[in-house]
Amino acid sequence: MYQKTLAATVCVIFLSAATGLAQSSTRNSVAGGSPAGVGSSSGSGSGSIQSDGTFSVGSTAGGASTAQESNRRGAAELIRSIGQGQLHQSEAQINIEQARKLNIENRVEYARALVELERARNELAQLKREYQAELNRLRTAQHTERRSRRARKPVETLTMADMNHRTGEIQWPAVLMSPRFSPEREKLDKLYARWALGDGKSGGTLIDELAVHHQRLKSRFGSPSVTRGLGANRWASGWQFLRRMENDIRLGPLAPRKMMAAM
């Protein structure tokens, strides 16, 4: 469409130039000479508009010497200007296409960066999952190992020095003979004596009573007021005795050891 418009414009320019040349030739033949301002050797070299509307350029260096030449030069200048405009428009179009190409490349790079970022995030998430799984595995293995060690370690219960397994008489350590522990201590003595005498008809109830009174004695002995009043060694000996009694009650006091005591 643009090329057709340009061709039409060029045709109009040539027709206008031809018409102007014909009119100038007619006037020159009638007047018998060249129009004013044309062919003179003096002047500033600038053009002037004639009475018939045509443009004339002085005869200085590089100027037109006749109206016909002036019209032809004007037409050539117009064509050159149109061509120059086309050139500039083509360059602008090239710049637009280059800018569009750069924009597309920038979008492609941005999309590629997003893909790389998402891939890096997925890899990081995968590494975190693997790390957490390995950490859980190690924790489970450590927990299993601790449980295995505890299972292999023999459980300490009341020994023959701590209690007479024939009568159930308990040899309390001196630190637990304080009057403040008398209620729980006397109750435990009676319960152990009943068990040693074979009062097993209500064994579950007896064990429950032993556990209740033992826990009361352990809580009273572990209170801060008692701890501060005793030395570290004395308190530790009493606490270890209570721990052995706790294991003894949990496993079922006396039952598996009465036969050993009778041997």
Please name every residue paired with 48 in a beta bridge, in sequence order, or none if there are none. 56
pLDDT attached to residue 166: 81
Q: Is 252 left (phi over 0), alpha (psi -120 to 50) or beta?
A: left
Q: Which two tokens mark 66? A: 């006749």
Task: Report pLDDT for 29.
Answer: 43
CB atoms within 10 A of CB 28: 16
Q: Is 79 exposed, middle or buried (0-12, 13-18, 19+ CB in 10 A)?
A: middle
- What is the average per-residue pLDDT within 95-115? 93
- Return d(Cα 178, Cα 12) in angstroms, integer: 132
Weakest-pLDDT range from 32-41, 166-175, 214-223: 32-41
CB neighbour class for 142 (10 Å; exposed up to 12, middle 13-18, buried from 19)? exposed
Write down the pLDDT at residue 132: 93
Higher-pLDDT residue of 15 and 77 is 77
Q: Of 46-50, 161-165, 196-200, 246-250, where does mean pLDDT reach its minimum? A: 46-50
Report percent pLDDT > 90 for the chain: 20
Q: Give the list of residues 6+ apart from residue 185 with CB closer than 8 angstroms, or none.
A: 172, 176, 177, 217
- Distance CA(19)–CA(134), nearest Å, equals 97
For 170, which DSSP code?
B
Residue 60, pLDDT score: 43
Average pLDDT over residues 164-193: 88
DSSP single-letter state for residue 163: B
Question: Over the chain, what is the mean pLDDT?
Answer: 75
95 pLDDT above the threshold of 80: yes
Q: Give the list of residues 6+ apart from residue 216 with CB closer than 8 angstroms, or none.
A: 184
User: What's 197's DSSP letter?
Assistant: T
At residue 121, the pLDDT reads 94
Q: How does DSSP assign 24-74, residue by residue?
A: HHHHHHHHTSPPTTSS-S-S-S--EE-TTS-EE--SSTT--SSHHHHHHHH
Please give the DSSP secondary-structure letter assigned to residue 102. Answer: H
Instruction: Answer yes or no: is pLDDT of 97 > 70.
Output: yes
Both tokens of 17, joined, read: 């130039």
Torsion angles phi and psi, residue 55, rounded to 5 = -105, 130
